[in-house]
Amino acid sequence: MSRIGKKPVELPGGVTAAVSGQTIEVKGPKGIRSFTATDDVSIKVEEGAVQVHPRGTSKRARQQWGMSRTMVQNLVTGVTDGFKRELEITGVGYRAQMQGNVLKLNLGYSHDVNFEPPAGVTVSAPKQTEIVVEGIDQQLVGQVAANIREWRGPEPYKGKGIRYKGEFIFRKEGKKK
Q: Which CATH superfamily is domain 83-164 in?
A: Ribosomal protein L6 (3.90.930.12)
Whether residue 35 contacts residue 75, with contact meaning beta carbons closer than 8 Å, is answered with: yes
DSSP strand pairing (161-164 vs 31-36): unpaired
pLDDT in tens, 123-159: 999 999 999 999 999 999 999 999 999 999 999 999 8
Which of 5, 68, 61, 63 is CA-nearest to residue 35?
68
What average pLDDT is seen over the chain? 93
The CA–CA distances, whole Å, from 119 to 33, 55, 102, 116 equal: 14, 36, 12, 9
Task: Answer whether CATH 3.40.50.620 is correct for domain 3-80.
Answer: no
pTM for this model (two decimals): 0.88
What CA–CA distance (Å, rounded) separates 128 from 61?
48
CB-neighbour burial class of residue 132 (10 A; exposed 0-12, middle 13-18, buried 19+): middle
Q: Could you give the residue range(s) of every CATH 3.90.930.12 domain in the chain?
A: 3-80, 83-164
